[in-house]
Chains A and B, each alone.
Chain A
């Protein structure tokens, strides 16, 4: 699971700015998931993507949040006009292609800790 990479590891933004979080899945993984963890709480699902497709965005706020996973490059979680309540750790996870053994197993990246001032 050390193969899932996220950057930046720490991000500080002022209210109203944009935050852009990046995730590179493990080699060979084409499923990417984003989760949010508020301080002292569990992880909450936000969005599930495959290359060039959003499969499930049921956990993502309708406004200000968007996600993409382009054909080339990392997955990006974008938060526009950040507010203090957006301060949290954002974790990305990836899993293998469908059809293989262990396709449900999700491996997490180190997270991006977003602080909104």
Chain B
């Protein structure tokens, strides 16, 4: 089955700097890659997603890149703000399977 590895497990950056979180997946049949942000005690919230026919997608300060050959995808957050502090999860779906396979999560802390 699909396996998703996420790094780093914790990340601390200065406010205004960029943050990058990386994930690798094992099944080349995976075709959809969402990123979720989860604040303490809250639900996972979809912040951006990318499909396998696209290499990069941007939404304001957030971008995701996908390298299908290497089977890895990354989340980039620029101009970080204190409210970006949260746990971020990457995930993958194998085409036709519908179930999300999540990475282990990255605890991002933005230092003022």
| Contact between chains at A41 and B104 (CB < 8 Å) | yes
The number of chain A residues touching the other chain, given as a range, is: 20 to 34
Q: Could you tell me how many residues of chain B have their Cβ less than 8 Å away from some Cβ of chain A?
A: 21
Report the Cα distance A21→B45, complex, angstroms: 21
Report the Cα distance A69→B109, complex, angstroms: 39
| Contact between chains at A42 and B103 (CB < 8 Å) | yes
| Contact between chains at A107 and B46 (CB < 8 Å) | yes
Q: Count A-B contacts at CB 8 Å.
A: 54
Report the Cα distance A59→B1, complex, angstroms: 12
| Contact between chains at A1 and B100 (CB < 8 Å) | no
Mask: chain B, 63-76; 1 = CB below 8 Å from A; 0 = not: 00000000000000
Report the Cα distance A21→B36, complex, angstroms: 23
How far is the CB of B104 from the nearest CB of chain A, in Å?
5
Mask: chain B, 45-73; 1 = CB below 8 Å from A; 0 = not: 11001010000000000000000000000
Mask: chain A, 53-81; 1 = CB below 8 Å from B; 0 = not: 00110110000000000000000000000
Report the Cα distance A16→B103, complex, angstroms: 32
Grouping DSSP codes into helix (H, G, I), strand (E, B) and loop, the A interface class, with mixed when no group exceeds half, is strand
Taking CB atoms, residues of chain B closer than 8 Å to A107 are: 46
| Contact between chains at A105 and B45 (CB < 8 Å) | no
Question: Which chain A residue shows the least CB distance to B107?
Answer: A40
| Contact between chains at B34 and A43 (CB < 8 Å) | no
How far is the CB of B86 from the nearest CB of chain A, in Å?
14
| Contact between chains at B89 and A43 (CB < 8 Å) | yes
| Contact between chains at B98 and A110 (CB < 8 Å) | no
Taking CB atoms, residues of chain A closer than 8 Å to B43 are: 1, 91, 108-111
Residue A104 interfacial (CB < 8 Å): yes
Report the Cα distance A107→B93, complex, angstroms: 14
| Contact between chains at B99 and A43 (CB < 8 Å) | no
Which of B51, B100, B101 has the largest number of chain A CB atoms within 10 A? Answer: B100
Pick the residue among B93, B98, B101 that contacts A55 (CB under 8 A): B98
How far is the CB of A56 from the nearest CB of chain B, in Å?
6
Residue A31 interfacial (CB < 8 Å): yes
